[in-house]
Amino acid sequence: MGRTHHNTYKTANEWEQQGLVGKSLQFTDDEIVSTLGIGKSKDMCRNSCAMDMALTYTLMSFGPDREVTAKECINEQTRRAFWYDTRLLAQAKVNNVPDKSDTEYFQEHGKYPLVSRTGWNIRKTLWDAIESGASWKELETYTTPLYRAKLISSWSRNNTHLRNWESTGHLTPLEDHMERGMNRVLMDKDGEKELLRCINKGFNRMVKNGRCIQTSSGRGRTFKWTEWNWLEQVRQEVLVSNSFNRKIGDTINGWVYAIKDTTDWWGCQVHTYHWKPVDVLEYYKVRIQSGSVTNGIGHYINGKWKYPKVYKDQFQDTPYVFGTKAQSEDYASLLCEQLVAPTTSYPLWREVDEDFNATDKSLSAVAVAVDYPLRLKPEVFVEDLPTPQEILLEFLKSPAAKSNYMGMFDNLPKIPVNIVKVEKEEAEADA
């Protein structure tokens, strides 16, 4: 079995949907910092119990170097997390639930349609007691957990707590309007005591797994989140990236300023940039097409294997490259004129149709474009440079021309032209 999970664990996105993650951080008005901080807290709690998610967000929200007690962490998020961590809420599929979103059905029939719904649920008797105004102490008879806490395999981590075959008649779906009553019972002396106990258990787990540190002991012990080094670094990367966004699309001398790559830091995108040709930069080859006859796929017929003859195309590039499409097409046309079969030859492969029209396989030449993805660094002043096509022609005329642009390349593909020094004796022997 792979890595195990506790069945009280859910994903950070699930906890966010349940309101355990706020929309901003209280220590800053900087939207970027809030986005990064919330993203970081969710990243640390990809799979966790509810209180760990709420406390991680809360510590982040207090800001750097802030030491807090469990009581200071009582807020909207930790109150909600309490109900999930104590297993007084459970995920289950409940039948015959009124669908209050179907207003058309209600107008026609005077009632809402009954549907099956998978979601978070609370025990009916517990909610009735809360709704009637009971204190936490008066709820004791209704606070037995809805399911048993246990380790589960990774493949079942997203399953509901109560299975389809278990009775759900004692449950009622959790709705937004219930939050006020649930919060109320946690505000009296006994309710707050239970909430603090749950928060402290959460802090014990977080210290153990390294999500925070304990900075003092005893009654009123304090905690601190120390993972702040990344924040300023990433924030600066985001700011620098954003400052160059305005240049995207700038076109100069056939070069366009464009995004090279993108890194997503928890909702904040950091781009890297480069200059690339406005039009696809290409050089051209001329390719000679020929072929050969070989055996095809065998077929078992009448007790024997038979292998039909087939014609397979073969290609051979000429030892030249061209800077323009027109030049390559002119050379391909010239070759086609010279590759006409002599009258004394016989084709290796001839195809004849039903009307006895014959087509011979023959030699031909075509121009083929080859991409040359040349890129320049973003800080290069392309105003002082030739166009991409002009630079490519320089390379084709002499590979050494690339040295004129050293330090400017963000990406320099291999130049197709090669010049090799040959010793004089070798040259004379070849001659």
What pLDDT shows up at residue 2? Answer: 46
First to last CA, the chain: 73
- Higher-pLDDT residue of 96 and 142 is 142
pLDDT computed for residue 308 by the predictor: 86
CA distances from 268 to 23, 34, 258, 260 (A): 15, 10, 18, 16
Asked whether the predicted pLDDT for residue 3 surpasses 70, the reply is no
Whether pTM > 0.75 for this model: the answer is no
293 pLDDT more than 90? no
Average confidence (pLDDT) over 147-174: 85
C-beta of residue 310 within 8 angstroms of C-beta of residue 340:
no
- Span of 128-137, 159-168, 237-246, 401-410 with lowest mean pLDDT: 237-246
pLDDT over 50 at 16, yes or no: yes
pLDDT at residue 1 tops 50: no
Q: Could you tell me if residue 9 is left (phi over 0), alpha (psi between -120 and 50 degrees) or otherwise beta?
A: beta
At residue 149, does pLDDT exceed 70?
yes
**What is the mean pLDDT of the segment spanning 190-211?**
94
| Residue 310 clears pLDDT 50, i.e. is over it | yes
pLDDT average, residue stretch 398-412: 91
Which of 158, 128, 144 has the alpha carbon at shortest distance from 6? 158
Of the pLDDT bands very low, low, confident and very high (cuts 50, 70, 90), residue 358 is: confident
Both tokens of 125, joined, read 């008797």
* Mean pLDDT, all residues of the chain: 89
CA distance 182 to 335: 86
- Length of the chain in residues, anyone? 431
pLDDT at 427: 59
More confident residue, 58 or 245: 58
**pLDDT band, very low/low/confident/very high, at 428 (cuts 50, 70, 90):** low
Tell me what pLDDT residue 193 has: 95
Alpha helices in 91-123 (DSSP H): 103-109
To the nearest 10 degrees (0 to 180), the angle between helices 50-62 and 31-44 is 150
Q: Is the pLDDT of residue 13 over 80?
A: yes
CA distance 288 to 317: 6
Phi/psi of residue 50, nearest 5 degrees: -65, -45
Question: Between residues 179 and 301, which one has the greater pLDDT?
Answer: 179
More reliable by pLDDT, 159 or 110 = 110
Query: DSSP alpha helices (H): ranges in 353-408?
Result: 388-397
Q: Which of 252-256, 319-323, 400-404 has the lowest mean pLDDT?
A: 400-404
Q: Which of the two residues, 156 and 406, has the higher pLDDT score?
A: 406
Q: Which regions of 307-397 does DSSP assign to beta strands (E)?
A: 309-322, 350-352, 358-360, 364-371, 375-376
CB neighbours of residue 372 within 10 Å: 21
Spell out a b/e string for 249-271, using b for 16 or more CB atoms within 10 Å of the CB, else e. eeeeebbbbbeeeeeebeebebb
Q: CB atoms < 10 A from the CB of 216, how many? A: 12
Other beta carbons less than 10 A from residue 173's beta carbon = 17
Identify the CA nearest to 151 among candidates 42, 290, 5, 44.
5
pLDDT digits (tens, 9 = 90+) for 111-134: 999 998 899 999 999 999 999 999
pLDDT at residue 334 in the model: 94
Mean of pLDDT values over 143-156 = 86
Give the integer Cα–Cα distance in Å for 29 and 32: 9
- The answer to whether the CB of 370 falls within 8 A of the CB of 416 is yes
Position 30 scores a pLDDT of 83
Angle at 157 between CA 152 and CA 159, to 5 degrees: 110
Q: What is the mean pLDDT of residues 162-184?
A: 91
Q: Give the residue-averaged pLDDT of 210-222.
A: 90
Task: Using the predicted structure, report yes or no on whether residue 154 has a pLDDT greater than 80.
Answer: no
Query: Of residues 232 and 142, which shows the higher confidence score?
Result: 142
User: What's the rounded Cα separation, in Å, for the pair 351 and 368?
Assistant: 27
**Single-letter code of the amino acid located at 24:** S
Q: In the structure, what pLDDT confidence band is assigned to residue 429 with cuts at 50, 70 and 90? A: low
Q: Residue 68's beta-bridge partner residues?
A: 223
419 pLDDT band, cuts 50/70/90, is confident
Show the tokens assigned to 401. 């021309």
* Euclidean distance between CA atoms 170 and 143, whole angstroms: 13
Letter string b/e over residues 124-139, b meaning 16 or more CB atoms within 10 A of that residue's CB: eebbebbeeebbbeeb
Q: Which two tokens stand for residue 30?
A: 């900087």
> Mean pLDDT throughout 209-238?
84
DSSP strand E in 99-236: where? 114-123, 151-153, 171-173, 213-214, 222-224
User: How large is the average pLDDT for residues 204-225?
Assistant: 90
